[in-house]
Chains A and B, each alone.
Chain A
Amino acid sequence: MPLTSECLILSALLFGLGVAGFIFKRNLITIFMAVELMLNAVNLAFVAFSRVWGMDGQVFVFFVIVVAAAEAAVGLAIIILIARNRQSLNVERVDFLKL
């Protein structure tokens, strides 16, 4: 109980920093890493709650990690394709619907 509240505040802080990174950064890979930071913040919230409410939180963290792994694999493959096609990883250069 004394640790859960602090961990939740930290989780909100990390989530906010992830959102800031997602919005302000220009490199595709860095934006993706900001998304992973947000997922980690959510995991921290889950584990902090599981300390008070039971083990289900940790099972959920397990699933979030697995889904993040699958998403990272496919997302990075797409990023590789974009980099090959546009020769740039700057997100401001991939804003045309037509290639």
Chain B
Amino acid sequence: MIIQTILFLVFAGLAVAGAVSLILQRHPIHCALSLIVVMVSLAGLYLLLGAEFVAAVQIIVYAGAIMVLFVFVIMLLNAGEEERTNLSRLARAAGVPLALALTAVLGVIITKAVRVGAAKPLLPTATRNLALLLFKDYVFPFELTSFLILVAILGAVVLAQRER
């Protein structure tokens, strides 16, 4: 049990540190690296919660493909450091407490939503059950997402073409 708490604290701390670094860094490449740290620590949290296949998919797809796309775009567009913004003082003074308030409200609401009850036991064949669900109950959304990816590929290729 204590190992679980320590690991949770480590991963949660890394995730929050990465998220704060995402906001505070000025160069987009540093923001991208912080986001990768967040994603990898979230994958560790998924492993702690027993979702092993989702953890692996998170690293392979999210941290290993989507973020590579981000890093490529940053490198190709030669994005430099952010300039100093001329945001109004009122917005900055009111924005921070409001963001905190939003976080607090969200936290309270979703923590109250957890019904009191025992957690289901960690299934040793979690991948098999996930696959059964995905290909039996949710097969229609699954096929729709493949169509969605096709449309997205077409869109990205057409949009990012070199100008004739």
Contacts and interface: CB of A to CB of B under 8 A. Distances in A.
Interface of A: 1, 3-21, 23-27, 29-30, 32-34, 36-37, 40, 43-45, 47-52, 54-56, 58-59, 61-63, 65-74, 76-81, 83-84, 89-90, 92
A20 to B, nearest CB: 4
A21 B22 contact: yes
A8 B8 contact: no
B59 to A, nearest CB: 11
29 contacts: A1-B114, A3-B119, A5-B111, A12-B111, A13-B103, A13-B107, A17-B16, A17-B22, A17-B103, A24-B95, A26-B83, A32-B70, A33-B32, A34-B22, A37-B19, A44-B45, A52-B114, A52-B120, A58-B126, A63-B138, A65-B62, A66-B61, A69-B66, A73-B152, A74-B159, A76-B73, A78-B159, A84-B163, A92-B86
A75 to B, nearest CB: 9
Nearest to B107: A12
A66 to B, nearest CB: 5
Given A61-B51, A61-B54, 15 more contacts: A15-B103, A16-B100, A24-B23, A24-B87, A29-B31, A32-B70, A37-B22, A44-B42, A59-B133, A62-B57, A62-B134, A69-B62, A69-B152, A80-B73, A80-B76
A58 B107 contact: no
Contacts of B99: 16, 19-20, 23
Interface of B: 4, 8, 12, 15-16, 19-20, 22-23, 28, 31-32, 35, 38-39, 42, 45-46, 48-51, 53-54, 57-58, 61-62, 65-66, 69-70, 73-74, 76-77, 79, 82-83, 85-87, 92, 95-96, 99-100, 102-104, 106-107, 110-111, 114-115, 117-120, 126, 129-130, 133-134, 137-138, 141-142, 145, 148-149, 151-153, 155-156, 159-160, 163
B148 A67 contact: yes
Dominant secondary structure of chain B at its interface with chain A: helix
Q: Which of B38, B61, B149 has the most CB of A within 10 A?
A: B38
A65 B134 CA distance: 14
Q: Which of B20, B51, B151 has the most CB of A within 10 A?
A: B51
Contact of A65 (B38, B45, B57): B57
Contacts of A44: 42, 45-46
B91 to A, nearest CB: 9
